[in-house]
Structure 1
Amino acid sequence: MRNNGRLTTPKKPDSPSLDFVRSLNPEAELIYVPVEPTSDSAPNECYSNVERLVKEEGGRKIMGWQVWEWPGYFAEAEYHAVWESPTNGLIDVTPKTEKQILFIADSKINFTGERINNIRSALIDAEVVHDFIALGNAKHAIFGHIPNGTRLETWKVVIGERLDQATALLPNLFKKGAKNNQPCPCSSGLKYQDCHRMEIKKTIEMAHKAIAGK
């Protein structure tokens, strides 16, 4: 539903690095689906986009996982809806920069409208990548069930800002090897390990304590 930085559609659907996605529904295949949004399709609104087309033109809503990859660093599966056209097979009708997506059908999840967490898998054994994944999971655990526009308690505002800052900073390290000893992206002139690394660790620790206390 979105494409940030170097997060793209994987070029090799048979790659062993995507076994975590295939395990979500061993009975289905990873397939490429063309992206063909309609003029009134809204970004990031895949469910309503597909439901409207089903009402207008027939066909079916197919639920499953769209697969993203930051080549060499991590892959993730995002719960997503595509349209099964009465005549042209599966089509992703939600706008995005990709011309096609990699998709695996999965109807086992009972989608009730509450956000479903992305499933992420590291493609490299690097602390920076593992921390980035941990931050994403923590953010969902704390905020995933909260409706948009809800007034947040002060502690949630604080931890939310820290999580946002951390997840914005870490991908900049992926561009140069995801090493702790490279310059910190904050432009302090220090190495990451001597600069923001401990702040990131503290944010993860704070988030885990918040989750445990919920």
Structure 2
Amino acid sequence: MADWSKEKIQKFVSNLKDLHTHEKLGQFYDDFAPQYDKAVKSFGYVGPSIAVKLLNKYVKSKDAWILDVAAGTGLVGEYLVDSGYTNIDAVDGSVASTEVARKKNIYKHLYVQWLGGDNKLNTNNEGYDALVCVGGFALNQLKSDVFPEFIRVVKPGGFIVINIRTNWLDREASYSDGKFERDMAQMETNRKWKLIEKYLDIQQEESVNQDSVTFIHQVC
């Protein structure tokens, strides 16, 4: 999978529609982990760089504690380190992916767990200055029921950065017809967080649709 053609990428994406359980998703990403970094870098995956660039606007202290959710093999973590951040934790459900990430010596703590439903983050209340989630919201993956958990573990005044590809907003049933943003807005109505910035990135890459939107919320 090192040389990713448009057809291979489309096949990869199409596989996600059949992965309705954490067990199936875990097996998929465990199998994919050894090739993941090389594959996504082959088409210039921009989500991690966008999210960290935006985080830099709001979190100035390089000593801030940051939680990387759906960290996978640690691509976001690499950008965080390159930006000078030194206190980074991570959580992901794929054992093999977290082992790849662990070898990069990026994270202070790395938790292997799935989120959503009754699955809670294995971290204390208000333990982080910021949370970043890139690629975690996709077909059959994280749902908006994780928003309260994201908020729980971030300090009041801290920031939550979520990057999602725009095509998932139509293809994932739990996000479609504007539900994803309505659920975000409901959290704001409930005075849990406040939308600070919504950043739309349009890519001209023909091999894969990388258009994405990044939401930056500040915890109340």
- The structure with the greater share of residues assigned to strand is 2
Q: TM-score w.r.t. structure 2 length? A: 0.24
- The structure with the greater share of residues assigned to helix is 2
Q: TM-score w.r.t. structure 1 length? A: 0.25
